[in-house]
């Protein structure tokens, strides 16, 4: 398998529809107007020498290597910055050009360390290539004069080096940081000979604003910015295209390998979700896959007080199956169940739900989407008819007004966050509804037109107040509503939102948002052109999560912002495959494709295919399983790739439920928190060790490809299959493509999907069937999936979680860029250098009232429990609101979250907890011990301490 080298066309593609024809080196070529001569030449296979140009960024024209001659024009213009003109006649190879290019290369090489043979970029260096391409044989200037070749290295970033002596000051890194990533961390300092690339104000990379996305490293044509893994391991020799296993953006990467060793992950330019960009997690934080703490052998124990005993796979599977059978015989068919993983592939989640429905004989299956986006499924299905976002990511390029609700894209969905920043810097307007001043509210060259800092728990009131303005000020797109929506439902809704008690003025007192801002934001969204709503867990993880999703859908329908590019309702899904796990039938009431288990026709179809009778009543959701366990009715659970003890609310209740079970089976990479209560541990496999598919937030189905053998012996789907066979329900898949074929056979929205299609197209967005053989980038074009769009009234019901004298502050939670969810993977990489611990953000006024200073230890107490962590004083949060992340088990933030949940879906109310914050002496004993375990884990990750 060769190393995949993507073609670099030198400058970005022009989107113009008009075409221009010109002649290059005697050949006629037609290209879109606005194309550079350099790119036009590539179309006929002519690569003009270049150094500062690359097709990921706008042309810059600094290196003067790409000169061409144009008939009828004086001089030798740069082909990267010169657009094509009709009838133009261009020569790319003439004696004059050859001489000029050689002269340019001589200057570069005379100030470059000539250590090519030992350089880490040898064979992968554009400077080297260009020297060869222009035929450079000697350097007339010698190497004696003033030069930069003794400049040192910046090794501060754990993942890449900056070897200053090799820099040719082409500015590709600076432009990558500006244009692709949007962080603006780099600059060229000094002038002329003294020009140098500088992170921030002559800082190191680590101390600058750099967020370690890797765009500059990828853009650098020399070894100046180079991955440390390449320096240590050597140049990769083959690559395989696969999909990131962290977040719902679904970035495509080339896993670049030496044998079975991963050298680096390089974002794939053909990846339709990321278009060649990445964030720190997908790009660099893959070391957990080979971390020494990974459990590679199955283990069992009779009770959770005993030590684990390593056993063979045969024994582990036989033991698990016999326990599940014993328990079902003793306590009944419904006494067992399972949880699918949104980190695993579609094929793996499909198999787990199939095992439960067909092998266990009940519908007790649920997934972690229960605790994040289950309200999205409910809300969008109720209003539009489909449980998924409406757009592709490219759509944002045509958006005029971006409305972000309860989402922090630059931290939680960073690659899409960068694309959004790009659009905002081009002039799109911005409204942010969030209790916290997230980065996008104010960042270089971006300032939200309106930030509506809601009091946690009042989203429904604000969203309905926006609707109030739109309806009462006559801003409804009546033509759209009349044509595509249920008009009676609209009338009923319009009357409801028009009531005075829904007005911005009426809700200001409890939402905390100025009425004038709500009015102005509503006008902007309704009249500012294409309006697109992006929302996240700040919408769903509430007792009224489903109502908020419905309120968002109502806004989009009322303003006609649905069914074309640039508009829509877009949930930013959290985990890499949370969309897929929902699509694959992970909920207790739905078969794959969101079809209710009580639908006889659908069930009969599955019964015929699976060869067993299936239950027609919904099974237990995760909270019901735990409740039933505490009550003694639910006795065994199979948990694949999910740490419910750390990620689910009210940790005490979760641990009580798990402790009450007779057989807890955890299948995971590491001994997670849930495994403390497990009787069987089945080692899981990473995304690098298996074939399959993930589905991202755009409904995009993308291939995951195996690049190394499973270190534990089996891919996760094979383990489920072994268990199913041992349970007496046979499964005989030899490859995940066969599982996808079955999914396609049984799921109308997937009926056109196959691995062959994915191989040909790269990726497709469901629905993919006869009506849309290449998938559906945008949904609800020319009508809603459910028929007519359904407006639903959204009565605001305050949460039962109330502040009062004992708990006067509201806690809300979120994520940070460098860490991921419960941190099981990212904490086992150098990413922890950016975020070593969870801290509590508190407004300086609230801190002062309590005698708390920055970095002080504080006790965070709610009605459910207490924990301690350090305080960070910041005006990002409003007075009365505190905020923290939940990446580190030492903080155990979910000890203090409550049992309140969404009325429709049981999604926990993570975003609203009444708390008190008081000074503390420091972490509790168990936190100290746990912290030391974590520090040790990091030392092992950094290879400074052996695992044993
Ligand atoms: S790694 Fe990313 S954020 Fe850091 S300097 Fe490079 S492009 Fe900018
Ligand atoms: S660090 Fe690399 S990309 Fe940046 S200016 Fe130097 S050579 Fe160019
Ligand atoms: S944005 Fe998400 S999918 Fe993309 S590299 Fe980062 S974590 Fe992976
Ligand atoms: S590639 Fe055109 S000026 Fe550098």
For 367-388, the pLDDT digits (tens) are 877 666 778 888 999 999 988 8
834 neighbors 944 (Cβ within 8 angstroms)? no
* Low-confidence winner among 141-155, 390-404, 445-459 (lowest mean pLDDT): 141-155
Nearest of 906, 349, 379 to residue 625 by alpha carbon: 906
Q: Hey, what's the torsion of the CAs at 511, 517, 523, 529, to 10 degrees?
A: -100
Who's near 258: CB < 8 A, 6+ residues apart? 233, 234, 235, 236, 237
* Confidence (pLDDT) at 107: 84
Q: Copy the structure tokens of residue 946.
A: 């052996």
pLDDT tens by residue, 733-768: 999 999 999 999 999 999 999 999 999 999 999 999
* Confidence (pLDDT) at 111: 75
Q: Residue 540 and residue 777: Cα distance in Å, rounded?
A: 24
* Confidence (pLDDT) at 167: 93
Q: Residue 504 and residue 500: Cα distance in Å, rounded?
A: 9
Q: How many CB atoms lie within 10 A of CB 145?
A: 8
78 C-beta closer than 6 A to ligand 4: yes
Calculate mean pLDDT across residues 201-223.
93
20 C-beta closer than 6 A to ligand 1: no
Which bound ligand lies closest to the C-alpha atom of 227? 1
Q: Copy the structure tokens of residue 530.
A: 């294409």
Residue 118 vs residue 681, higher pLDDT: 681
Tell me the β-bridge partners of 639: 339, 666
Which bound ligand lies closest to the C-alpha atom of 826? 3
* Confidence (pLDDT) at 942: 43
pLDDT tens by residue, 47-58: 999 999 999 999
* Confidence (pLDDT) at 938: 46
**Above pLDDT 70, what percent of the chain?**
95
Ligand 2 centroid – CA 60 distance (Å): 13
* Confidence (pLDDT) at 909: 73
Using the predicted structure, report yes or no on whether residue 654 has a pLDDT greater than 50. yes
* Confidence (pLDDT) at 143: 59
Q: Quick one: which H or E segment has residue 743?
A: helix 736-746
At residue 630 the predicted structure's pLDDT band, cuts being 50, 70 and 90, is: very high
Counting every residue written for the chain, the total comes to 948
Q: Residue 123 and residue 226: Cα distance in Å, rounded?
A: 13
Which bound ligand lies closest to the C-alpha atom of 112? 2
Half-sphere exposure of 226 (CA within 13 A, CB side): 25
Ligand 2 centroid – CA 196 distance (Å): 9
In the three-class reduction of DSSP (H, G, I as helix; E, B as strand; rest coil), residue 66 is classed as coil
251 C-beta closer than 6 A to ligand 3: yes
* Low-confidence winner among 276-285, 438-447, 541-550 (lowest mean pLDDT): 541-550
Ligand 2 centroid – CA 699 distance (Å): 37
Residue 932 vs residue 248, higher pLDDT: 248
Q: Residue 39 and residue 265: Cα distance in Å, rounded?
A: 27
Sheet bearing 763-765, strands edge to edge: 692-695, 700-704, 763-765
* Confidence (pLDDT) at 947: 45
Question: What distance, in Å, lies between the first and last C-alpha atoms of the chain?
Answer: 36
Q: Average pLDDT over the chain, rounded to whole? A: 91
* Confidence (pLDDT) at 931: 61
Ligand 4 centroid – CA 78 distance (Å): 6
Q: Which atom of ligand 2 is nearest to the CA of 171?
A: 5
468 neighbors 538 (Cβ within 8 angstroms)? no
Residue 946 vs residue 876, higher pLDDT: 876
* Low-confidence winner among 23-37, 112-126, 127-141, 400-414 (lowest mean pLDDT): 127-141
Q: Residue 346 and residue 342: Cα distance in Å, rounded?
A: 9
Q: Which of 80, 126, 127 to mutate to test the pocket of ligand 4 (most atoms within 8 A of CB)?
A: 80
pLDDT tens by residue, 537-554: 888 877 788 999 999 999
Ligand 3 centroid – CA 718 distance (Å): 26
Calculate mean pLDDT across residues 278-303.
92
Calculate mean pLDDT across residues 769-793.
93
* Confidence (pLDDT) at 926: 59
Using the predicted structure, report yes or no on whether residue 937 has a pLDDT greater than 80. no
Enumerate residues lining ligand 2, CB below 6 A: 167-173, 197, 219-220, 222, 224-225
In the 8-state DSSP scheme, what is residue 181? I
53 C-beta closer than 6 A to ligand 4: yes
Nearest of 113, 115, 212 to residue 156 by alpha carbon: 212
Q: Residue 931 and residue 928: Cα distance in Å, rounded?
A: 5
pLDDT tens by residue, 716-739: 999 999 999 999 999 999 999 999
Ligand 3 centroid – CA 686 distance (Å): 16
* Confidence (pLDDT) at 814: 78
Calculate mean pLDDT across residues 243-267.
95
Q: Which of 176, 206, 277, 415 to mutate to test the pocket of ligand 1 (most atoms within 8 A of CB)?
A: 176
Q: Residue 756 and residue 743: Cα distance in Å, rounded?
A: 14
Which bound ligand lies closest to the C-alpha atom of 78? 4
Task: State how far the alpha carbon of 95 is from the alpha carbons of 82, 99, 923, in Å.
Answer: 21, 6, 73
* Confidence (pLDDT) at 386: 84
Residue 122 vs residue 271, higher pLDDT: 271
Q: Quick one: which H or E segment has residue 71?
A: none
Which bound ligand lies closest to the C-alpha atom of 267? 3
Using the predicted structure, report yes or no on whether residue 940 has a pLDDT greater than 60. no
Greatest extent of the chain over all pairs of C-alpha atoms, in Å: 92
Ligand 4 centroid – CA 11 distance (Å): 10
Tell me the β-bridge partners of 914: 810
Using the predicted structure, report yes or no on whether residue 891 has a pLDDT greater than 70. no
627 neighbors 661 (Cβ within 8 angstroms)? no
* Confidence (pLDDT) at 822: 64
Q: Which atom of ligand 4 is nearest to the CA of 81?
A: 2
Q: Residue 280 and residue 284: Cα distance in Å, rounded?
A: 6
At residue 948 the predicted structure's pLDDT band, cuts being 50, 70 and 90, is: very low
- Closest residue by Cα to atom 8, ligand 1, is 177
Using the predicted structure, report yes or no on whether residue 943 has a pLDDT greater than 50. no
- Closest residue by Cα to atom 3, ligand 4, is 61
**Above pLDDT 90, what percent of the chain?**
72
Ligand 3 centroid – CA 832 distance (Å): 17
Q: Which atom of ligand 3 is nearest to the CA of 282?
A: 5
Q: Which of 174, 215, 222 to mutate to test the pocket of ligand 2 (most atoms within 8 A of CB)?
A: 222
215 C-beta closer than 6 A to ligand 1: yes
Which bound ligand lies closest to the C-alpha atom of 172? 2
Q: Looking up tokens 């002649």, which residue turns up? A: 23
Which bound ligand lies closest to the C-alpha atom of 104? 4
Nearest of 538, 569, 518, 549 to residue 436 by alpha carbon: 538
Ligand 1 centroid – CA 383 distance (Å): 41
Ligand 2 centroid – CA 120 distance (Å): 15
């Amino acid at each position: 398998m060769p190393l995949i080298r993507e073609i670099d066309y030198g400058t970005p593609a022009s989107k113009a529809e008009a075409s221009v024809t010109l002649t290059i080196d005697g050949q006629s070529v037609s290209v879109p107007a606005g194309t550079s001569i350099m790119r036009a030449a590539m179309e006929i296979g002519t690569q003009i020498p270049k150094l500062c140009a690359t097709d990921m960024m706008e042309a810059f024209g600094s290196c003067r290597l790409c000169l061409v001659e144009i008939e009828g024009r004086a001089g030798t213009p740069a082909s990267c910055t010169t657009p094509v003109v009709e009838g133009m006649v261009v020569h790319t190879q003439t004696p004059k050009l050859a001489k000029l290019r050689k002269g340019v290369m001589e200057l570069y090489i005379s100030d470059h360390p000539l250590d090519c043979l030992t350089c880490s970029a040898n064979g992968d260096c554009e400077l080297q290539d260009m020297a060869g391409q222009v035929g450079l044989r000697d350097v007339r200037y010698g190497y004696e004069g003033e030069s930069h070749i003794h400049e040192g290295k910046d090794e501060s970033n754990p993942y890449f080096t900056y070897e200053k002596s090799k820099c040719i000051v082409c500015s590709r890194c600076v432009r990558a940081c500006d244009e692709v990533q949007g962080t603006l961390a780099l600059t060229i300092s000094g002038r002329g000979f003294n020009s140098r690339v500088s992170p921030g104000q002559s800082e190191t990379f680590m101390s600058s604003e750099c967020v370690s996305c890797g765009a500059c490293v990828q853009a650098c044509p020399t070894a100046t910015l180079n991955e440390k893994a390449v320096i240590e391991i050597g140049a990769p020799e083959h690559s395989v295209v696969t999909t990131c296993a962290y977040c719902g953006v679904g970035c495509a990467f080339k896993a670049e390998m030496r044998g079975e060793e991963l050298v680096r992950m390089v974002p794939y330019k053909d990846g339709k979700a990321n278009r060649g960009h990445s964030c720190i997690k997908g790009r660099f934080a893959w070391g957990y896959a080979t971390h020494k703490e990974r459990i590679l052998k199955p283990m069992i124990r009779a009770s959770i007080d005993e030590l684990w005993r390593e056993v063979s796979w045969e024994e582990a599977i036989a033991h698990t199956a016999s326990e599940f059978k014993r328990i079902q015989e003793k306590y009944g068919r419904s006494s067992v169940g399972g949880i699918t993983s949104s980190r695993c592939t579609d094929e793996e989640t499909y198999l787990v739900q199939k095992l439960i429905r067909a092998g266990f004989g009940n519908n007790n299956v649920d997934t972690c989407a229960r605790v994040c986006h289950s309200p999205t499924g409910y809300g969008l299905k109720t209003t539009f008819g489909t449980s998924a976002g409406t757009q592709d990511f490219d759509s944002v390029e045509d958006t005029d007004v971006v409305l972000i609700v309860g989402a922090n894209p630059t931290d939680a969905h960073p690659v899409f966050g960068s694309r959004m920043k790009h659009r905002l810097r081009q002039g799109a307007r911005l409204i942010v509804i969030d209790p916290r001043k997230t980065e996008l509210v104010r960042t270089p060259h971006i300032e939200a037109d309106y930030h509506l800092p809601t009091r946690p728990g009042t989203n429904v009131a604000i969203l309905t107040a926006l609707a109030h303005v739109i309806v009462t000020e006559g801003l409804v797109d009546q033509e759209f509503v009349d044509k595509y929506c249920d008009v009676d439902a609209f009338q009923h809704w319009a009357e409801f939102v028009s009531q005075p008690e829904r007005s911005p003025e009426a809700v200001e007192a409890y939402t905390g948002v100025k009425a004038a801002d709500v009015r102005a934001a509503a006008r902007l969204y309704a009249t500012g052109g294409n309006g697109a709503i992006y929302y996240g867990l700040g919408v769903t993880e509430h007792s009224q999560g489903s109502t908020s999703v419905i309120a968002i859908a109502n806004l989009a329908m009322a303003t006609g912002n649905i069914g074309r590019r640039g508009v829509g309702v877009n949930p930013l899904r959290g985990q890499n495959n949370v969309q897929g796990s929902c699509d694959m039938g992970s909920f207790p009431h739905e078969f794959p494709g969101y079809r209710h288990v009580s639908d006889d026709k659908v069930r009969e179809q599955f019964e015929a295919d699976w060869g067993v009778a299936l239950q027609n009543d919904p099974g237990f959701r995760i909270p019901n399983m735990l409740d039933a366990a505490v009550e003694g009715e639910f006795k065994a659970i199979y948990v694949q790739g999910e740490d419910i003890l750390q990620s689910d609310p009210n940790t005490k209740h979760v641990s009580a439920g798990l402790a009450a079970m007779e057989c807890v089976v955890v299948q995971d990479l590491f001994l997670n928190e849930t495994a403390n209560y497990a009787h069987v541990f089945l080692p899981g496999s990473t995304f690098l060790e298996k074939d399959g598919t993930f589905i991202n937030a755009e409904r995009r189905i993308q291939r995951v490809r195996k690049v190394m053998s499973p270190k534990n012996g089996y891919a996760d789907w094979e383990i489920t299959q072994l268990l199913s066979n041992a349970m007496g329900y046979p499964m005989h898949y030899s490859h995940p493509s066969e599982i996808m074929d079955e999914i396609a056979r049984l799921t109308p929205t997937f009926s056109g999907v196959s691995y062959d299609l994915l191989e040909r197209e790269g990726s497709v967005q469901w629905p993919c069937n006869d009506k849309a053989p290449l998938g559906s980038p945008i949904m609800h074009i020319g009508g809603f999936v459910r028929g007519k769009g359904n407006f639903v009234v959204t009565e605001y019901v305050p949460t039962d979680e109330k502040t009062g004298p004992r708990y006067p502050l509201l806690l809300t939670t979120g994520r940070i860029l460098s860490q991921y969810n419960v941190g099981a993977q990212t904490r086992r990489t150098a990413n922890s250098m950016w975020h070593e611990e969870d801290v509590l953000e508190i407004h300086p006024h609230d801190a002062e009232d309590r005698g708390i200073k920055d970095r002080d230890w504080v006790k965070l107490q709610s009605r459910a429990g207490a924990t301690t962590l350090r305080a960070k004083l910041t005006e990002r949060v409003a007075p009365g609101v505190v905020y923290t992340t939940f990446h580190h088990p030492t903080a155990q933030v979910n000890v203090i979250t409550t049992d309140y949940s969404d009325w429709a879906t049981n999604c926990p109310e993570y975003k609203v907890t009444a708390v008190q914050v008081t000074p503390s002496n420091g972490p509790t004993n168990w936190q100290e011990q746990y912290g030391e375990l974590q520090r040790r884990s990091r030392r092992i990750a950094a290879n400074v301490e052996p695992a044993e």
